[in-house]
Chains A and B, each alone.
Chain A
Amino acid sequence: MSEISPAEWTAILLSLRVAIIATLVATPFGIALAWLLARRDFWGKSLLDAIVHLPLVLPPVVTGYLLLLTFGRRGLVGGFLADHLGIVFSFRWTGAALACGVMSFPLLVRPMRLSIEAIDRRLEQAAETLGAAPWKVFFTVTLPLALPGVLAGMVLGFAKAIGEFGATITFVSNIPGETQTISSAIYSLIQTPDGDAAAGRLVIVSIVLALGALIAAEWFARRATARLHGN
Chain B
Amino acid sequence: MLQVDIEKQLGEFSLSATFTGEGRVIGLFGASGAGKTSLVNMIAGLLRPDRGTIVIDGETVDDTAAGLHVPTWRRRIGYVFQDARLFPHLDVAQNLDYGRQMNRLAPDPAQHKRVIDLLDIGALQGRRPGKLSGGERQRVALGRALLSKPRLLLLDEPLGALDEGRKLEILPYLVRLRDEANVPMVYVSHDAAELRQLATQIVMLKQGRVTSFGGVKVLA
Instruction: Give residues in A with beta carbon < 8 Å to B.
Output: 120, 122-123, 125-134, 136-137, 140-141, 144-145, 227-231
Inside 8 A of B76's CB, which chain A residues have their CB? 131
Contact B73 A122 (CB under 8 A): no
**What's the Cα separation between A199 and B132 when bound, in Å?**
56
Inside 8 A of A136's CB, which chain B residues have their CB? 102
**What's the Cα separation between A102 and B9 when bound, in Å?**
46
> Contacting B130 at CB < 8 Å: which of A122, A128, A133, A230?
A230
B44 CB, nearest partner CB in chain A, Å: 6
Contact A231 B128 (CB under 8 A): yes
User: What is the size, in residues, of chain B's interface with A at 8 Å between Cβ atoms?
Assistant: 30
Contact B102 A145 (CB under 8 A): no
> Contacting A123 at CB < 8 Å: which of B75, B87, B148?
B87
Q: Determine if B81 is an interface residue (Cβ-Cβ < 8 Å).
A: yes
Inside 8 A of B154's CB, which chain A residues have their CB? 129
Q: Determine if B98 is an interface residue (Cβ-Cβ < 8 Å).
A: yes
Contact B77 A129 (CB under 8 A): yes
Inside 8 A of B130's CB, which chain A residues have their CB? 229-231
Contact A129 B72 (CB under 8 A): yes
Q: List 9 A-B contacts (CB under 8 A).
A: A127-B98, A127-B102, A128-B46, A128-B72, A128-B73, A130-B73, A130-B148, A133-B102, A140-B98
- Known contacts A122-B81, A130-B144, A130-B148; is-contact A230 B86 (Cβ 8 Å): yes
**What's the Cα separation between A65 and B74 when bound, in Å?**
51
**What's the Cα separation between A229 and B86 when bound, in Å?**
11
**What's the Cα separation between A120 and B84 when bound, in Å?**
13
In chain B, what residue has the closest Cβ to A130? B99
Inside 8 A of B77's CB, which chain A residues have their CB? 129
Inside 8 A of B72's CB, which chain A residues have their CB? 125, 128-129
**What's the Cα separation between A141 and B88 when bound, in Å?**
9
Inside 8 A of A125's CB, which chain B residues have their CB? 46, 72, 85
Q: Determine if B217 is an interface residue (Cβ-Cβ < 8 Å).
A: no
Inside 8 A of A134's CB, which chain B residues have their CB? 73
Inside 8 A of A230's CB, which chain B residues have their CB? 86, 88-89, 128-131
Contact A129 B79 (CB under 8 A): yes
Inside 8 A of B50's CB, which chain A residues have their CB? none
Inside 8 A of B129's CB, which chain A residues have their CB? 230
Inside 8 A of A122's CB, which chain B residues have their CB? 81, 83, 85
Contact A127 B87 (CB under 8 A): yes
Q: Determine if B20 is an interface residue (Cβ-Cβ < 8 Å).
A: no
Inside 8 A of B103's CB, which chain A residues have their CB? 130-131
Contact B85 A126 (CB under 8 A): yes
- Known contacts A229-B130, A231-B128; is-contact A130 B98 (Cβ 8 Å): yes
**What's the Cα separation between A141 and B95 when bound, in Å?**
11
**What's the Cα separation between A129 and B148 when bound, in Å?**
9
Which B residues, 38 to 52, have Cβ-Cβ distances below 8 Å to chain A?
44, 46
Contact B88 A227 (CB under 8 A): yes
Q: Determine if B185 is an interface residue (Cβ-Cβ < 8 Å).
A: no
